[in-house]
Chains A and B, each alone.
Chain A
Amino acid sequence: MISAQKIGRNIIKAFGYLTGYYSLLCYFIKNISLLGRAPIRYVFYKQVYFTGIEALSKITAIGILIGIVIITQVINIAGANAVLIGKILIWTVVRELGPLLAAIIIIARSGTAISSELGSMKVNNEADSLRIMGIDPVDYLLIPRIAGITISVFILTFYFQITAVAGGLAFTSAFKGLPFLQHIKGIFSALGLFEVAVSLAKSLVFGLLISTVSCYQGFSVEASITEIPQAATRAVMQSLFLVFIFDGIITLISFA
């Protein structure tokens, strides 16, 4: 009985969150033109800097390592077959791992930061300070953040895929004796516009999900400082959960 009640409560809570995310996303889409206003655009640029540019070194390192790991495993299993290596690299990095890993890195780096930052602004009545200056805190704080994170995830995904593929190819050419040009041929034989388009569509959806969830959770903090880490945890877990769900859905629709 108690567990049934608990399940019911959790379902209601989850439904409440999903409704909130949907409303915020609709508000963002409806008011995206606010980015044309200089002070809001300034917050957007800062967000792109913190989420996108500051994450570049980590994305580069992880991308190169992932490329090397995948190629090493493929060579161990199937031998030094350039066409097969190219295909597997495209299948794993471009179709799946690129968007997913870039999203996970952004959730870990920026999802927590944004929900904590917004939460502490709410606790310190800074959202009210904006309101009494005639500045809508959702317009000023959330819209540029959602736009900034989404653009950053989109670009970082593309960048991650390039570094992973290039890192893998450079490694095999340098240490496994496979000719670089043969590799490139293998890559291009497996790479189609459709793969790239699906991967970028995924990154766009993931960006919107991560930013909406993190902003919503941070902004739902009310008055207590203890709510901030709870909001950050919810932002991370729910972003991850939604990213995996939507990854599955898009993959099924596109490749099944």
Chain B
Amino acid sequence: MIRIENITTEDFNALSFRIKGGSVYKVITNSDYENRKLLNVILGLQRPEHGRVFLFDKEMYMLSSKELNRLFSRVGTVLKDGGLISNLKVWENIVLPVWYHSGNKPEDVEEKVVQRLKEAGMDVARLEELMGELPGPLPVHEKRLLGFVRAALMEPDLMIYDSVFEGLNQEMSERFIKLTEKFHSERAGRTSVYITPDEQSVKGIKADDILRL
């Protein structure tokens, strides 16, 4: 699913690892900075000086930008800050990738969005209020949750979580973990990768393997 071969950047020296399809992985980095840098390499944002990165068996940095865009429509990423677009309302944020890639009308996925957010413990009144708001002032746990719903709507084969449980209280963290585990099990062959420098925050996740950098 993801194969990193001898990548060398300012921050990594001949780093190699492999993430197999259909599994749950925890990748433990040494710092937030290293976490960000690793994500940049995996997500096609920073080309390594040496080495190769494969995603779905395709050498990522050899692809054209159009091919890369197609490839990333199969990847869901939940970033630590939610990764929401500041000038779009919450509803517009959530439906953007599914609207862009599949051409589905936003109203077609309304039911799925409501269901996911209810599963996350959000009550209907808050949900209705939230959809028309801009994401800037929202608390970080809601931004992450919305980032998760947005990614999940695309039904990706690979889901990457960037330190999403850090700083959450126990109840929120447990609920969010359950949500991601349920999402993983919804489709056979789906891969989930939790990347974080805080091992404690992913303690509750049952992983098939743990990679420590």
Binding site for B on A (CB under 8 A): 37-39, 117, 120-121, 124-126, 128-136, 140
Binding site for A on B (CB under 8 A): 43-45, 65-66, 68-73, 75, 77, 79, 81, 83-87, 96-97, 99-101, 103, 150, 154
- Residues of B near A136 (CB, < 8 A) are 65-66, 69
A118 to chain B, nearest CB (A): 10
Residue in contact with A126 in the complex, picked from B44, B69, B73, B85, CB distance below 8 Å = B85
Question: Are the CB atoms of A134 and B86 closer together than 8 Å?
Answer: no
Question: Are the CB atoms of A140 and B100 closer together than 8 Å?
Answer: yes
Q: Known contacts A39-B99, A132-B72; is A126 also within 8 Å of B45 by CB?
A: no
Question: Are the CB atoms of B75 and A132 closer together than 8 Å?
Answer: yes
- Residues of B near A128 (CB, < 8 A) are 43, 45
- Residues of A near B84 (CB, < 8 A) are 129
- Residues of B near A124 (CB, < 8 A) are 86
Question: Are the CB atoms of A131 and B83 closer together than 8 Å?
Answer: no
Residue in contact with B85 in the complex, picked from A38, A130, A132, CB distance below 8 Å = A130
Question: Are the CB atoms of B100 and A39 closer together than 8 Å?
Answer: yes
B35 to chain A, nearest CB (A): 14
B140 to chain A, nearest CB (A): 14
The CA-CA distance from A120 to B87 in the complex, in Å, is: 10
Question: Are the CB atoms of A132 and B44 closer together than 8 Å?
Answer: yes
Question: Are the CB atoms of B103 and A134 closer together than 8 Å?
Answer: no
Question: Are the CB atoms of B96 and A135 closer together than 8 Å?
Answer: yes
The CA-CA distance from A126 to B81 in the complex, in Å, is: 11
The CA-CA distance from A37 to B154 in the complex, in Å, is: 18
- Residues of B near A135 (CB, < 8 A) are 69, 96-97, 100
- Residues of A near B103 (CB, < 8 A) are 38
- Residues of A near B45 (CB, < 8 A) are 128, 131-132
Q: Known contacts A120-B86, A124-B86, A126-B86; is A132 also within 8 Å of B43 by CB?
A: yes
Q: Known contacts A134-B73, A136-B69; is A129 also within 8 Å of B85 by CB?
A: yes
- Residues of A near B87 (CB, < 8 A) are 117, 121
Residue of A nearest to B154 (CB): A133
Question: Are the CB atoms of A134 and B72 closer together than 8 Å?
Answer: yes
- Residues of A near B101 (CB, < 8 A) are 134
Residue of A nearest to B100 (CB): A39
The CA-CA distance from A133 to B87 in the complex, in Å, is: 17
Question: Are the CB atoms of A131 and B72 closer together than 8 Å?
Answer: yes
Question: Are the CB atoms of B77 and A132 closer together than 8 Å?
Answer: yes
- Residues of B near A140 (CB, < 8 A) are 100
- Residues of B near A37 (CB, < 8 A) are 100
The CA-CA distance from A133 to B71 in the complex, in Å, is: 9
The CA-CA distance from A236 to B34 in the complex, in Å, is: 38
Q: Which 9 A-B pairs have the closest CB atoms?
A: A134-B72, A134-B73, A129-B83, A134-B69, A133-B97, A132-B43, A39-B100, A132-B77, A39-B99
The CA-CA distance from A38 to B105 in the complex, in Å, is: 9
Residue of A nearest to B72 (CB): A134
The CA-CA distance from A117 to B97 in the complex, in Å, is: 21
Would you mind naming 15 contact pairs between A and B with Cβ atoms under 8 Å apart?
A: A39-B96, A39-B99, A124-B86, A126-B85, A126-B86, A128-B45, A129-B83, A129-B85, A130-B85, A132-B45, A134-B72, A134-B97, A134-B101, A135-B69, A136-B65
